[in-house]
Amino acid sequence: MGITDRKEREKQEMRKLIINAAMEMFITEGFDKTSIRNIADKIEYSPATIYLYYKDKDELLYEVQGQAFLELYNAFLKDVTATDPLERLDQLLHSYVNFGFEHPDLYDLMFILRSPMKATEENGWPNCDEAYHYLTGTLETCIDQLRYENAHIAALSIWALGHGLVSLFIRERIKVMHLPDDQVRNVVKATVDDHLRLIKK
Amino acid sequence: MGITDRKEREKQEMRKLIINAAMEMFITEGFDKTSIRNIADKIEYSPATIYLYYKDKDELLYEVQGQAFLELYNAFLKDVTATDPLERLDQLLHSYVNFGFEHPDLYDLMFILRSPMKATEENGWPNCDEAYHYLTGTLETCIDQLRYENAHIAALSIWALGHGLVSLFIRERIKVMHLPDDQVRNVVKATVDDHLRLIKK
DNA sequence: AAACTTACTAAACAGTGTTCAGTAAATAAA
DNA sequence: TTTATTTACTGAACACTGTTTAGTAAGTTT
């Protein structure tokens, strides 16, 4: 039946329309400051319509986060170009931290905002495992050249360092270090480099 | 004039009453889910009264954060008991991470929530510099026994690792590692220990 | 052409942070 | 002691928020 097909297609297009508007506003205005009414205005529908396609505002967040994890994964693909495993690890961590500094609002959504209910129900987000496995996969190829006790600790340590640096910056806690504004990015980069140096055999 | 003294005292008592109620509710219910009306109900005053003592909800947050930094500082004083500088550094990082796991809601307020306006205006929070200098001070005494390039990098690296671990846990992102629930705390501890091992000469 | 289904919305509900006019009590001045 | 003034407080309102529901108009099927 062609009509049901078209209906289904239109439904998916509507979902996309909503998500695209939501994503743009979440990034430019922030999640909290974006209201359902704002999104509805943008796409020229009534607020109630959004609830016909998504359960609540949290589900909108969940969907946008999934999109964002794909963008992070694509950043990895773009930045991690070396063949040497250790060099790939360097590029990966730099890519992660760079993503956070280049897209702070997106990073905020993905890693700092409270997890939406659906993420706990579904055991994660779309595209999130792929991004995480990029790290564990890279580590597997060079874990014997690293000083870490095991691969779990290696993954967590590297992720925690990267996430710590980015989130201390985004949430402005790094300011208590009283570094000159134009030096922050450099010190963070140097910290990443130093960490990468210390973990190698 | 005794009356103005008493008035001033009463004013400070009222501020304390409000802050104590706010802190308790921020911790048990979370900042977002605590409304000015909730706080007002708790202390049996009208919501408008709170605005006679604090500019807005953000200033309430700022004040509670100041209190919380003092509690962190006191945790340091309690936990960092060794005399050997390197051992003190170990104890300090463990104390920090432990504070985050023991008081996740307090930690959330202090390090994960967006910075209130007043923190940028006043260049930080009450008691925050003291807590931070506990780290830099400890590092000064053993920086020559560490492999870090310099003290700035050492401080940022250690803080970022600790903060990364705690905040990945609190905001539930650590779940993508698919560790058994009862193992998370152990793996985090092991990661801290491993990091402390790797940074030493 | 009538019956049914789908897509949508206006309006309402219960909540939020915040402001302001008005009141009652405490203090100061007469 | 009485009057004037200052202080401390609040009820009600404003402009928002996420979300639900009853009702409508158009599209589709019979």
Q: What is the pLDDT of residue A8?
A: 73
Nearest to residue B93, comparing CAs of B105, B75, B107?
Answer: B75
Averaged pLDDT, B45-50: 98
Averaged pLDDT, B121-127: 97
Summarised one tens digit per residue, pLDDT across range B170-200 is: 999 999 999 999 999 999 999 999 999 999 9
User: Residue B91 — φ and ψ, nearest 5°?
Assistant: -60, -40
Tokens standing for B38? 């909730």
- Distance, CA of B193 to CA of B5 (rounded, Å): 53
Residues A106/A71, Cβ–Cβ less than 8 Å: yes
Give the nucleotide with minimal C1' distance to the Cα of A58.
D18
User: Residue A55 — φ and ψ, nearest 5°?
Assistant: -60, -50
B36 beta carbon to strand C: under 7 Å: yes
Letter string b/e over residues B144-181, b meaning 16 or more CB atoms within 10 A of that residue's CB: eebebeeebbbbbbbbbbbbbbbbbbbbebbbbbebee
Averaged pLDDT, B9-36: 97
Summarised one tens digit per residue, pLDDT across range A60-114 is: 999 999 999 999 999 999 999 999 999 999 999 999 999 999 999 999 999 999 9
Strand D contacts in A 144-183 (CB under 7 A): none
Q: What is the pLDDT of residue A2?
A: 67
User: Which residue stretches of chain A have pLDDT < 50?
Assistant: none
- Distance, CA of B27 to CA of B37 (rounded, Å): 16
The residue of chain B with its CA nearest to that of A128 is B176
Which residues of B have a CB under 8 Å from any CB of A? Answer: 111-115, 119-120, 123-124, 128-129, 132, 147-149, 152-153, 155-157, 159-165, 167-168, 171-177, 179, 187-188, 190-191, 194-195, 198-199
Between A and B, how many residue pairs show a Cβ–Cβ distance under 8 A? 127
Whole-number percent of chain B with pLDDT over 70: 99
Averaged pLDDT, B89-109: 98
- Distance, CA of B9 to CA of B29 (rounded, Å): 30
Q: Which of A139, A150, A194, A197 to mutate to test the interface with B (most CBs of B within 10 A)?
A: A194
Measured over the CA atoms of residue B170, residue A97, residue B69 and residue B89, the dihedral's sign is positive
Domains of chain B: 1-54 (1.10.10.60), 65-198 (1.10.357.10)
Residues in A touching B176 (Cβ below 8 Å): 124, 128-129, 132
Q: What is the pLDDT of residue B7?
A: 73
Q: What is the pLDDT of residue B10?
A: 85
Amino acid identity for residue B153 in this structure: I
The residue of chain A with its CA nearest to that of B159 is A164
Amino acid identity for residue A106 in this structure: L
Nearest to residue A92, comparing CAs of A197, A192, A185?
Answer: A192
Inform me whether the pLDDT recorded for B1 exceeds 70: no
Tokens standing for A51? 């609830």
Averaged pLDDT, B32-45: 98
Measured over the CA atoms of residue B28, residue A162, residue A22 and residue B113, the dihedral's sign is positive
Of A124, A176, A188, the CB nearest to B175: A124
